[in-house]
Chain A
Amino acid sequence: MKFVDEFRSRDYSKLLVETLQNSSRDKINIMEVCGTHTMAIFRYGIRDVLPANVTLISGPGCPVCVTPQSYIDTALDLSSREDVIIATFGDMMKVPGRKSSLLKKKAEGSDIRLVYSPMDCLTLAADNPAKKIVFLAVGFETTAPMTAVTAMEARKNGLSNLFFFTAHKIVPPVMEALVTDKELNLDGFLLPGNVSAIIGTEPYEFLSKDFNIPGVVTGFEPVDILQGLNTLINLISKKDCSIANDYKRIVRTTGNSEAKEYMNKAFNVVDSNWRGIGKVPKSGLEFNRDFEEFDALKHFKISYEEYDGSSGCRCGEILKGKMNPTQCSLFKQICTPENPIGSCMVSSEGTCAAYFRYYK
């Protein structure tokens, strides 16, 4: 099980920090797109060791944060049904809907189960044949293949009581919205290694070709992040707008073809609403006709109007990197992990959660 220590090496980190400190003096704005990177950057105090000319801006890569409130409210309605067991990742439990949350619904008697993988739903469905299991399928390319595989397994096992309420999103399309935003003035992207493990590095090439912006794919350990930042700052100062891969131990240029095939088999790419950002063309995944029997909305014949929700919450600006949480008047005053106003405060990848938990 020894696989993290070498990427948390103090000596190697020190070397990388020294290199960073001796790098370019130009003012550089880097966006870490992914919430897992945001969390790791705070957890390892990486902002403390960056040269003053480098600014890290946290991006929208937190699937729970970008899920509109209307999705949560619809999930809460589903959880009130006697015949339904909701299965969800723990992150969704405290996300505030208009009137309630899954955590409150569970306390009031709704049957809501925490799972670590959608595959856990197969057992849940087999063990509860009289109930309908609804998995809250939220996440990026990192979790979408597992949703597809679980649906395929359910079909193979003849389970007809497992459904998915999907809100899967894909990362590259939303980045186009960010690079074209003049206010942000980004010089480069730190790209999430877990997403690229599935999609590879190719889908980011448009950043380089169409927008002259470099990016580096990297992992989530301190050495990965410091190494990625070094590469990125180097590219920026050389005016080289390549997409580099610093996570070669996991990521191949073309990604994981098997996982991509599962996604292609089960999903259509559709336009999707991102909370705080709005409708982003071709940025969502929805079950295709062959898999629509698993679509919870179709099964329960539900349609709902989408809305962002949470009045006063500045998550939109925070997700786009235009504000940091300490500039929001609700942060720590009214909005806390116990009383979240927006999902960014409760998701384990949320920027507000990172600032609340780790910011000195």
Chain B
Amino acid sequence: MQLILDITNNPGNGGVKLSTITLSHGSGGTQTNQLINDVFFKYFGNDILIQMNDAAHLAIDFKKLAFTTDSFVVNPLFFKGGNIGKLAVCGTVNDLAVSGAKPLYLTCAFIIEEGFSMADLETIVKTMAEEAENSGVKIVAGDTKVVEKGKVDGVYVNTSGIGVIYEDVNINCANAKPGDVIIVNGTIGDHGMTILCERNNFGFEGDLSSDCASLNTLVDCMFEVYNGIHVIRDATRGGIAAVLNEISVSSNVSIVLEENLLPIKEEVKGAAEMLGFDPLYIANEGKLCAFVPEAQAEQVLSAMRTHPLGTNAAIIGRVTEEMGKRVYMKTVVGGKRLVDMPSGILLPRIC
């Protein structure tokens, strides 16, 4: 295969530095090593990663580990409020945090399209490093594959993560109890609506920006005031509606939301209205729902509001034993309706 090289400079170590990714960057030879050194080590470099073993050697004291993985294929790769790299770190950190774990180590794997911009890759990697630092995790292992042009759309990223579950917490999807109050940490639907509008160039003006953020410090701050929280889930794909439906099934309880209590940004409300979406079903990347016994709800809510990611935290509903173990919403007019599990194509490739 003949590759046309776009040589921008010569770093002087026998190779040439390219401004685009080529198949040779994924071949395991000189260019792969160069990419690892010039991009990945430059930003991710830490004591464990630089040992360059086939597997990261980790010494962890624990009784229970949380272990998770997630792949990211978002389109567009760069959006207001973040990029695919930030999403990849936050997504996995959040899955660990809402399981009641302290996130410790991540791995990351890139599948890159031949011809992808080296500068864009570097921006993504740099963002990942910043977000990892921000959430207190280390990226300790990684992998890079390059595939022919057209076989992937730019770059796909996978991250896996390990965390240690706090001994005194017991977060479980099946733990929601009648009497629990449901709290969200802020406005819903921001991420999905931002992606949709950017992808289609709708040109809505206003403060439409992804909420992509690592939630682990917010969760810590909630545990500090009350470690008996029953359930915490991050409301990503399928939005709040999907998460609450899953909890309702796992815990065999009914959930009643109050429409007038849902925090939704005007921009999101307006855009969703025009495009025929319901913010309840739109993805978030920095929002969680917590199920807290009523007696502790105010305490947890106040603690959340002191954290930058919880200033707009709000109670949005309650768990009850009434009705048919489904999710319902008390509407603004005083009626009640079902909030069903989302079905079909909502919006592909939002994360």
Contact = CB atoms under 8 A, between A and B. Distances in A.
Given A1-B206, A116-B200, A360 B334 contact: no
B6 interface: no
Interface stretch (B86-94, B180-188, B337-345): B337-345
A4 B273 contact: yes
Contacts of B278: 43
Interface string B196-220: 0000101011100000000000000
Contacts of A256: none
| A1, A3, A356 — most chain B CB neighbours (10 Å) | A1
Contacts of A222: 331-333
B266 interface: yes
A211 interface: no
Nearest to A357: B340
Contact of B345 (A3, A47, A103): A103
A34 B265 CA distance: 29
Interface residues of A, number: 37
A301 to B, nearest CB: 33
Nearest to A340: B344
B266 A1 contact: yes
Interface string A1-17: 11111001110011011
B230 interface: no
A43 B276 contact: no
A46 B323 contact: no
A45 B270 contact: no
Nearest to B326: A360
A336 B343 CA distance: 10
A356 B344 CA distance: 13
Interface in B299-351: 323-324, 326, 328-338, 340, 343-345
B260 interface: yes
B275 interface: yes
A49 B334 contact: yes
Interface in A2-39: 2-5, 8-10, 13-14, 16-17
B225 to A, nearest CB: 31
A2 B328 contact: no
Interface residues of B, number: 33
Contact of B270 (A3, A13, A42, A360): A3
B332 A8 contact: yes
B333 A4 contact: no
B145 interface: no
B269 interface: yes
B348 to A, nearest CB: 10
A359 interface: yes
Contact of B337 (A1, A3, A14, A44): A44
Interface string B244-280: 0000000000000000100000110111010110100
Contact of B338 (A16, A94, A348, A357): A357
A4 B328 contact: no
Contact of A44 (B204, B206, B332, B345): B332
Nearest to A120: B200
A13 B334 contact: yes
Nearest to A42: B337
B335 A44 contact: yes
Contact of A94 (B275, B324, B344): B344
B123 to A, nearest CB: 27
A93 interface: yes
A48 B335 contact: yes
| A45, A93, A116, A356 — most chain B CB neighbours (10 Å) | A45
| A17, A103, A116, A356 — most chain B CB neighbours (10 Å) | A116
B276 A13 contact: no
Contacts of A336: 343
A226 interface: yes
A108 interface: no
Nearest to A360: B338
A55 to B, nearest CB: 16
B204 A45 contact: no
A9 B275 contact: no
A48 B334 contact: yes
B200 A46 contact: no
A8 B264 CA distance: 13
A90 B205 CA distance: 24
Nearest to A116: B200
A360 B336 contact: yes
A49 B266 contact: no
Contacts of B333: 10, 13-14, 16-17, 44-46, 49, 222, 226
B334 A338 contact: no
Contacts of B344: 94, 337-338, 346
Nearest to A355: B338
A206 interface: no
Nearest to B278: A43
A45 B336 contact: yes
Given A94-B344, A338-B343, A358-B340, 18 more contacts: A1-B206, A2-B270, A4-B269, A4-B270, A8-B332, A10-B333, A17-B334, A42-B337, A44-B333, A44-B335, A45-B335, A48-B335, A93-B345, A336-B343, A337-B344, A338-B344, A358-B337, A360-B336
The 4 closest A-B pairs by CB, nearest first: A45-B335, A48-B335, A1-B270, A45-B331
16 contacts: A1-B204, A1-B205, A1-B269, A1-B270, A1-B271, A5-B269, A13-B333, A45-B329, A46-B333, A47-B335, A49-B333, A222-B331, A357-B338, A358-B340, A360-B324, A360-B328
Interface of A: 1-5, 8-10, 13-14, 16-17, 42-49, 90, 93-94, 103, 116, 222, 226, 336-338, 346, 348, 356-360
